[in-house]
């Protein structure tokens, strides 16, 4: 449906252009097309059944002086737009690559610099992993205390709302910290991959081995 509307819109623009041309050269041009019903239509202006159909302009001798195919014109326009978009994306990617390469050379003067940066990043990640693990241990100790307190109420009274809230909050905190710990452990692989890529690009840019 959208494609048909686009073709119709393109045809309308073509008809307006042809009408303006016809007014500038009265009596000299005839328009011809084959409608969707298979019949041929002629007119000093573009016949309505020609909407969306290939149109031919004829001179006074009946010779074809111009052919207009709205569908093909629309395909050509779409192809040009796609090519232009691809070109813009390619240029943007090239600019980004240049920016990243410039930043890389401004950051590192040798491969040893990259290795040192990798070591610092891995050390920071390892510290973060240990910090999260300590928080998990602390939450589990809290949970153990809540469980002991909960034992006191079994078979006797309903546990206070405060205790129930604490137990629920501890479970939520534990889940969040365990998810964070898993993510931090995965970060080590990402860090190594990132610095491997930096080292590879550094070698390509500097010609080192």
Q: Do 61 and 113 fall within a single domain? A: no
Tell me whether residue 67 is in a domain.
yes
Residue 121 sits in a domain whose CATH number is: 1.10.287
- Calculated CA dihedral for residues 24, 27, 29, 31, nearest 10 degrees: 110
The share of the chain scoring above pLDDT 70, in percent, equals 86
Print the domain residue range for 135.
109-206
Q: Residue 113: CB partners within 8 Å, gap ≥ 6? A: 107
**Structurally, how many domains does the chain consist of?**
2
Q: Do 199 and 123 fall within a single domain? A: yes
Tell me whether residue 96 is in a domain.
no
Closest CA to 30 of 38, 72, 40, 39: 40
pTM of the prediction?
0.57
pLDDT digits (tens, 9 = 90+) for 45-74: 888 888 888 999 889 888 888 888 887 878
| Rounded Cα gap, residues 169 and 80, in angstroms | 58
Tell me whether residue 102 is in a domain.
no
């Amino acid at each position: 449906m959208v494609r048909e509307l686009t073709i119709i819109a393109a045809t309308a623009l073509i008809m307006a252009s042809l009408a303006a041309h016809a007014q500038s050269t009265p009596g000299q041009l005839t328009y011809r097309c084959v409608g969707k019903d298979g019949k041929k239509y002629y007119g000093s202006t573009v016949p309505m059944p020609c909407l969306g159909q290939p149109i031919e302009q004829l001179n006074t001798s009946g010779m074809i002086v111009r052919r207009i195919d709205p569908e093909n014109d629309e395909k050509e326009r779409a192809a040009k737009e796609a090519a232009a978009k691809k070109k813009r994306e390619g240029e943007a990617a090239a600019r980004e690559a240049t920016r990243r390469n410039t930043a890389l050379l401004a950051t590192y003067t040798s491969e040893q610099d990259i290795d040192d940066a990798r070591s610092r990043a891995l050390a920071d990640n390892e510290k973060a992993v240990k910090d999260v693990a300590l928080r998990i241990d602390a939450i589990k100790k809290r949970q153990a205390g809540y469980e002991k307190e909960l034992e006191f109420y079994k078979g006797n009274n309903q546990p206070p709302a405060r205790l129930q809230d604490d137990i629920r909050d501890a479970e939520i905190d534990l889940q969040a910290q365990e998810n964070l710990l898993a993510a931090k452990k995965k970060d080590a692989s990402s860090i190594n991959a990132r610095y491997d890529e930096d080292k590879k690009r550094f070698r390509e840019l500097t010609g080192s081995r």
